[in-house]
Amino acid sequence: MITVRIARSQRQFPTDDVDEAWLNKQFKQQDEDPLCVQIAIRSNTGVNVIVSTPGCPTSRSAPRSPKPREREILELWNELLRCHGTLHSGNVIAFLKQVRRML
């Protein structure tokens, strides 16, 4: 299951189907700067990871060492943020498509 939160809007998707139209609409409707985008990824293969943009409030949960697949997802997200200073819906959609192949 993938849960995407963009500002105050949130939606859950199965790992094999993400509603690109909803994502595009959410990005167009937001005027927050910086925008908070948070994606929680949980799969039956043991992946349980949350990624977010710097515009999101920080969490106080105790970190644990990521599993190898989770580490790959975190590295992919960090690369996305480094390469694209401004996050767009197309970047998030591409990220989710890559994650889907990893699961």
Look up the pTM and report it.
0.88
List phi, psi (to 5°) of 64. Answer: -125, 165
Domain count, the chain: 1
Judged against a pLDDT cut of 90, whether residue 41 lies above it is answered with yes
**Residue 71 tokens, joined:** 């580490």
Q: What is the pLDDT of residue 74?
A: 94
Q: What is the pLDDT of residue 62?
A: 65
Supply the range of the domain harboring residue 56: 2-102
Judged against a pLDDT cut of 90, whether residue 73 lies above it is answered with yes
DSSP-derived pairing of the beta strands 37-42 and 9-13: unpaired
